[in-house]
Amino acid sequence: MTFAEIYGHEKPIAILRSAMARNRIAHAYLFYGADGIGKRTTAAVFAGALNCEAQNPPCGVCRSCRKAGRNTHPDIVTVTAEGQFIKIGAVKAIQEQMKFRPQEGMRRVLIMPEADRMNAAAANALLKTLEEPSAANILLLTTSRPHALPTTILSRCQHLRFTPLPRETVARFLREKETLETSVAEALASSSGGSIGKALEMSRGDYLTLRNGILEGLAVEHPADPLRRLSFAGRFGTEREEILDRLHILRTCYRDALVFRETGETERLIFRDRASVIRALAERLPGRELLSVMAAVEEAMRAIDQNANKSLTLDVLMIKLA
């Protein structure tokens, strides 16, 4: 894979290309941004480029690039978590490798996805490596939670921010790589928050069916009927993650209704393919009530995230909505 095959992220890629062209590679990089946005993909391509045999890396076709693409290059090492954490044993293992020259390439590249999952002992061990950098060893850390990393590690890395992708870019990826129909690709891209990873996750599940069910429930349920609202709550599932996913959809519905009520523009909607339902909701509720409803949904999401009683939280929310 080459930089040209990455969707979006032109700015961080330009910085990496420039560093390679000037042979001024930092000893450690921190790629940070939302989950599923392309940080790890870019790190893998950059790792391949650092050992590419061509003059315009990565070429994607040389022996080194082919090995990188198959994840069999001996000088590109990925450090993953054991269970919940990245432990000190994993960091010591890469430190042991770093004592020797790269086996085949010019540099050994160590990729650590979700670097914020390092426990305290692992972070302290990694800090020693960062304090004594070696030109033959490059560290690539990726995270969606840079604030969770120690400041001592943050200060020793070059930071590259990965911002959410435009809706059109995510939709183009889904059309070209997943061969989805245009209408489906655009609907998923709108709901993805600029994350290709999230869009892929939604495309492989029943997200659109779920979303449409909630939208239709809002369209037909009478707002002043608490019993019917409680019945509506039964559609939100019983597991924490599925409830949070459904509440996020619900919050987006009301967000779109508020945006439409204030602007009258469908282009600003996240669920713009269901503009008729959003319009009906906007016409039914005044702006102040939409804000109140959104606050109630967000309060329920926080409670569920903090392991509050799920059934009781949903019942209280639905009574508030009624």
Instruction: Give the pair of three-digit tokens for residue 1.
Output: 């894979």
- Give me the number of domains the chain comprises: 2
Q: Which two tokens stand for residue 300?
A: 């329920």
Distance CA 247, CA 235 (A): 11
Does residue 31 register a pLDDT over 80? yes
Q: Is residue 149 part of a domain?
A: yes
Before 58, cis peptide (omega within 30)?
A: yes
Domain range for 72: 3-162
**Is 138 contained in some domain?**
yes
Q: Which two tokens stand for residue 75?
A: 């000088």
Q: How distant, in Å, are the alpha carbons of 118, 123, 293 from that of 85?
A: 6, 11, 37
| pLDDT recorded at residue 35 | 93
Same domain, 116 and 259: no
CATH number at residue 109: 3.40.50.300
Q: Are residues 151 and 211 in the same domain?
A: no
In angstroms, the CA 238 to CA 311 distance is 8
Instruction: Confirm whether 29 is domain-assigned.
Output: yes
135 and 211, same domain (yes or no): no
Shared domain for 240 and 298, answered yes or no, is yes
CA–CA gap between residue 67 and residue 51 (Å, rounded): 10
Query: How far apart are the C-alpha atoms of 208 and 311, rounded to whole Å?
Result: 24
Is 158 a residue whose pLDDT tops 60? yes
Are 23 and 123 in a shared domain?
A: yes
- Asked if the structure places residue 195 within a domain, the reply is no
Do 15 and 150 lie in one domain? The reply is yes
What's the mean per-residue pLDDT of the chain? 91
Residue 212 corresponds to which amino acid? Answer: N
How many residues comprise the chain? 322
In 3-state terms, what secondary structure has residue 224? Answer: coil
Q: Is residue 77 part of a domain?
A: yes
Do 220 and 308 fall within a single domain?
yes
pLDDT in tens, 87-128: 999 999 999 989 899 998 889 999 999 999 999 999 999 998
Q: Is the pTM of this model over 0.95?
A: no
> Side chain identity at 199, as an amino acid letter?
A
Domain contains 184: no
> Cα–Cα distance between 24 and 310 in angstroms, integer?
53
Q: Are residues 244 and 145 in the same domain?
A: no
| Residue whose entry in the numeric block shows the structure tokens 């790269």 | 102
pLDDT digits (tens, 9 = 90+) for 189-224: 999 999 999 999 999 878 898 899 888 888 765 555
Structural contact between residues 122 and 91, judged by C-beta atoms closer than 8 angstroms: yes
Give the whole-angstrom CA distance, residue 286 versus residue 304.
27
Closest CA to 202 of 165, 166, 234, 171: 171
With CA atoms as reference, report the closest residue to 171 among 8, 3, 34, 13: 8
Domain of 279: which CATH number? 1.20.272.10
